Structure 1
C-alpha cells in the first residue's frame, strides 16, 4: 500500500498530505483507492493506516463475487430449463445443441462456484449449495 501511495503521489492523483491531487483519475479502481486514502487520511501516522486503507479498498469485492455467482446460477438454471424443454419436446438431444449444453452447464457451475467461494458469510454457503444443487439436477437430467 505504501508503494501505491507513492505511485499516486508521483502521478499527482494524490497529494503528500493525503488530499486529492490535481491530476485526472482514469479508472474506477484508482477512484476507489483514492477514496480509501481520503476517507482515512486522519490516521496517516498510525501503524495500521495502510491496513485500514487496504480493507476499505477491497470491501466491495465480496459483494461483487456473490452478484456474479448469482448471475452464473441464473444462467445454469436457464440452461437446465432449456435442456429439460428440449428433451421433453424431442425425447432426445443431438448435434451442436447437445454439445453446447453439455459443455456450458458444467462450465457455468464451475464459474459460479469459483465466485461463490470468493464471497463471505452465509451468502457464500448458500450460493455454493445452490450451485451444487443445480449441477446435481443438471447431471441427473443428462443421464
Structure 2
C-alpha cells in the first residue's frame, strides 16, 4: 500500500513540475531573466536527473537506463535528457534549460486546450437541461463558473491558435458564449 502511494505521489510531482515549467516557459525570456528562475529550473532538473539515475531509468552518461519510465511524461523527460546530452559539454545551465523547455513546451498546445474547453462547455451546457431541477445554491454557482471559465479560456486559447483552426474555434467559442449569455439573461 505504501509503495503504491509513493508511486502515485512521484507521478503527481513529475506532472506538477512539468505544468510549472510549462507556465514558466510561456513567459517571455526577458521576464524570466528578471526573476532569475533559470537557476531554480537547473536545480529542479538536477534533482529529477538524480532520481532518474537512482531508479535506473537514466544512466549517468545520459543514455536510457534498463528500467523504462512508468508514465509518458517520465519517458519524455528521459528522452529530453538523452537528446540534449551533447549540450552538457557547452554549458550545464544551457543543458538543463533546454531539457526543461523541450520537456514542457508542448504541454499547453492551444488547439488542444481550446478543444477541451469547448467540449467541457458543451457537455456542461447541455447537461444543465438534464439536471436543472437539482441545481440549487452552490452547485448552480459551480455550474455557472464552469461555463464562464471554460468559454473564456476557450476564446483566449483560440486566439493563440495558428492557421485555419483559429477561424473555426474562435467564432464557435464566441457564438457559444453569446448563446449562453442570451440564455442566462432571458
| Deviation (angstroms), 1:78 | 5.6
Unaligned runs of 5+ residues in structure 2 are: 1-44
Please list the CA deviations of residues 80-120 of structure 1 after superposition, one character each: whole Å capped at 9, or x if unmatched. 5677xx7xxxxxxx623798787535413314544776x59
Number of matched pairs: 132
| Deviation (angstroms), 1:6 | 1.4
2:107 to 58, 61, 67: 61
| Deviation (angstroms), 1:141 | 1.5
| Deviation (angstroms), 1:33 | 0.2
Instruction: Work out whether 1:137 is the aligned partner of 2:184.
Output: no
- Structure 1 counterpart of 2:5: none
CA separation of 1:139 and 1:115: change in aligned 2, threshold 3 A:
closer
- Structure 2 counterpart of 1:123: 161
Report the structure, 1 or 2, having the larger helix content: 2
Please list the CA deviations of residues 61-81 of structure 1 after superposition, one character each: whole Å capped at 9, or x if unmatched. 121x54133222134246556
- Partners of 1:37 and 1:121 lie apart in 2 by 33
TM-score, normalised to structure 1, is: 0.67
- Partners of 1:18 and 1:128 lie apart in 2 by 43
2:66 to 7, 17, 22: 22
- Partners of 1:75 and 1:131 lie apart in 2 by 12
Displaced runs of 4 or more, over 6 A: 97-102
Unaligned runs of 5+ residues in structure 1 are: 87-93
SS of alignment partner, residue 67 of structure 1? helix
- Partners of 1:56 and 1:76 lie apart in 2 by 31
- Partners of 1:75 and 1:40 lie apart in 2 by 37
Is the 1:79–1:105 contact (alpha carbons within 8 Å) kept by the matching residues of 2? no
- Partners of 2:125 and 2:161 lie apart in 1 by 22
- Structure 2 counterpart of 1:110: 149
TM-score, normalised to structure 2, is: 0.54
1:37 to 55, 72, 81: 81
- Partners of 1:120 and 1:52 lie apart in 2 by 27
